Structure 1
Amino acid sequence: MIKPSHKRAVLEFLREEDGPTAVEYAVMLALILAVCISSVTFLAAKTQESFVTSGNAIDGAFGS
């Protein structure tokens, strides 16, 4: 059987807004991390492509 103090504690926990706020922050953080990771991945690919293009241009200029 559930003690009245436990029942009251559960009801108070359900009334508090700290739980949903924490979940909202976690979702927001996950979205920010996803955007950051995808941006870094995209920029890394573009940077590598730029260096390869520059290297090929330098090789072509010196006739190698």
Structure 2
Amino acid sequence: MKRLIDVARRFHDDENGAAMVEYSILIGIVAAASIVAIIAIGGWVGSQFTGLCANLSGKGVSSTGGAGGTC
């Protein structure tokens, strides 16, 4: 009976699993925030290029090297 109580006490005092779960949650939050930031920045950059194309009114350089390219 004393051995069972001793094993239960050691199991209760072990916090390695709890720390691993906390770090896993923290890594998940950082990863999600990074993905959201990348998507937001990508949308902003895309809108900047769309605005630039609208300002040029389609008169940019085309892929063949001449004027009159499309966006």
Of Structure 1 and Structure 2, which has the larger fraction of its residues in helix?
1
Question: Mind listing any 5+ residue stretches in structure 2 that lack a counterpart?
Answer: 59-71
Provide runs of 4+ in structure 1 moved above 6 Å.
none
Aligned residues: 57
Distance 1:35 1:44 in 2: 14
Residue of structure 1 equivalent to 2:17: 22
Greater C-alpha radius of gyration:
2
Could you tell me the percent identity over the aligned residues?
12
Question: Mind listing any 5+ residue stretches in structure 1 that lack a counterpart?
Answer: none
Q: Which has the higher contact order (CA 8 A, sep 6+)?
A: 2
Q: 1:35 aligns with which of 26, 30, 33?
A: 30
Distance 1:14 1:61 in 2: 74
